[in-house]
């Protein structure tokens, strides 16, 4: 970072200085669950920069509707036969303007993509990493699980965890997306749940989390070394933050606030974050997040 950048109070640690903006070719675009698709595109330059929990901004090349890109988490990073990262996957829920059009994009068509963006999950010593996902919130966790299990290296050192658990909940079985990607990760403990009981535990993902924390405490005598990371709808993240507080386990949340620019300029994406002096201030989720300490978020 240059002196000029350090002197600028708006220059966040994760400003998009190291990001790239490119037009990429779609490799495949397939439905993986109800209203949920996985799109893969070739972008070796960006793929080699991506860290778990970072996101990209994406729009369809040549289309002005929507005019601005939309943020999607990096779901997976695929290497070529020489283990050089070449392709990126995003998994998206069909929701509005971009995603309803994205389902019609076929292999060979092009996207405008800029990234990687945001802080992502920083490597931290962890005995047991518990990843808690709700709805489409599982998307940042494939690469994170691989990294903490020592199965992939994303260009940085990451302390290995003794165990990694995914607690993943959705309204029903049809909406659980990308489960096969998680099942392909050797050593990952997967606990699914659904609101209607159609797959896994019949109930809330917070109930599954409490059971995981209770089992961990019973085996190890305490929850020391456990860390929760969470992504999903905001009420669910607030509830997961509450359970983590109750069990005295640190928790980080990856926020999905709407974004316009993705690079720190427009302040569309602000969220209230408690500062060192105890007062809250607005932080830009795109360049100061999307991952925040759950205890620092003002939820309402």
Ligand X SMILES: Cc1cc2nc3c(=O)[nH]c(=O)nc-3n(C[C@H](O)[C@H](O)[C@H](O)COP(=O)(O)OP(=O)(O)OC[C@H]3O[C@@H](n4cnc5c(N)ncnc54)[C@H](O)[C@@H]3O)c2cc1C
Minimal distance, residue 272 CB to ligand FES, in Å:
14
* Pick 36 or 165: Cβ nearer ligand X: 36
Give me the helices (H) in the chain, please: 3-6, 44-47, 97-102, 141-148, 179-183, 205-220, 234-246, 285-288
Nearest-5° Cα angle at 269, 74 to 292: 65
Which of 17, 25, 84, 96 contacts ligand X by CB under 6 A?
96
The interface with ligand X within residues 231-270 (CB under 6 A) comprises 256-259
The interface with ligand FES within residues 219-278 (CB under 6 A) comprises 259-262, 264-269
* Pick 64 or 157: Cβ nearer ligand X: 64
Residue listed under structure tokens 């698709």: 37
Query: What is the rounded CA–CA span in Å between residue 110 and residue 106?
Result: 9
* Pick 95 or 245: Cβ nearer ligand X: 95
Region near ligand X per CB under 6 A, out of 7-15, 65-73, 161-169, 207-215: 65-73
End-to-end Cα distance, the chain: 34
Indicate the length of the chain as a whole number: 300
| CB distance 60 to 111 below 8 Å | yes
Minimal distance, residue 137 CB to ligand X, in Å:
8
| CB distance 38 to 30 below 8 Å | yes
Please, what sign has the CA dihedral across residues 253, 258, 260, 265? negative
* Pick 100 or 184: Cβ nearer ligand X: 100
Minimal distance, residue 33 CB to ligand FES, in Å:
27
Please, what sign has the CA dihedral across residues 89, 94, 98, 102? positive
Which of 59, 70, 128, 284 contacts ligand FES by CB under 6 A?
284
287 is an interface residue for ligand X by CB under 6 A: no
Residues binding ligand FES: number (CB under 6 A): 12
- CA-nearest of 42, 51, 69, 15 to 140 is 51
Minimal distance, residue 56 CB to ligand X, in Å:
9
116 is an interface residue for ligand X by CB under 6 A: no
12 is an interface residue for ligand FES by CB under 6 A: no
92 is an interface residue for ligand X by CB under 6 A: yes
| Residue 90 dihedral angles phi and psi, to the nearest 5° | -125, 145
> Of ligand FES, ligand X, none, which one does residue 163 interact with (CB within 5 to 8 Å by kind)?
none
Query: What is the rounded CA–CA span in Å between residue 150 and residue 222?
Result: 24
Binding residues (CB under 6 A) for ligand X: these are: 55, 66, 70-73, 90-93, 95-99, 136, 139, 256-259, 290
Q: Which residues contact ligand FES (rule: CB under 6 A)?
A: 259-262, 264-269, 284, 286
């Amino acid at each position: 970072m240059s002196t000029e950048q350090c002197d600028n109070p708006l220059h966040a640690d994760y400003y998009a200085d190291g990001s790239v903006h490119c037009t990429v070719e779609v490799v495949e675009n397939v439905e993986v669950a109800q209203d949920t698709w996985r799109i893969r595109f070739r972008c070796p330059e960006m793929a080699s920069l991506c860290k778990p929990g970072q996101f990209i901004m994406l729009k369809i090349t040549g289309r002005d509707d929507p005019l601005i890109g939309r943020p999607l988490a990096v779901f997976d990073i695929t290497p070529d036969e020489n283990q050089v990262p070449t392709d990126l996957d995003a998994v998206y829920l069909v929701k509005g303007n971009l995603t309803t059009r994205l389902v019609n994009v076929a292999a060979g068509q092009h996207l405008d993509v800029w990234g990687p963006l945001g802080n992502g999950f920083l490597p931290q010593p962890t005995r047991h990493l518990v990843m808690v996902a709700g709805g489409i919130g599982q998307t940042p966790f494939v690469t994170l699980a691989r990294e903490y299990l020592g199965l992939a290296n994303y260009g940085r050192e990451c302390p290995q965890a003794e165990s990694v658990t995914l607690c993943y909940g959705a309204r029903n079985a049809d909406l659980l997306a990308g489960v096969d990607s998680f099942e392909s990760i050797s050593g990952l403990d997967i606990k699914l749940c659904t609101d209607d009981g159609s797959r896994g535990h019949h109930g809330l993902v917070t109930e599954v989390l409490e059971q995981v924390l209770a089992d961990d405490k019973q085996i190890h005598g305490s929850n020391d070394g456990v860390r929760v990371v969470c992504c999903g709808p905001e009420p669910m993240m607030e509830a997961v933050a509450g359970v983590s507080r109750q069990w005295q386990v640190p928790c980080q949340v990856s926020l999905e606030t709407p974004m316009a620019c993705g690079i720190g300029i427009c302040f569309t994406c602000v969220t209230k974050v408690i500062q060192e002096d105890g007062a809250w201030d607005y932080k830009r989720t795109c360049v100061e997040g999307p991952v925040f300490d759950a205890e620092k978020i003002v939820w309402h």
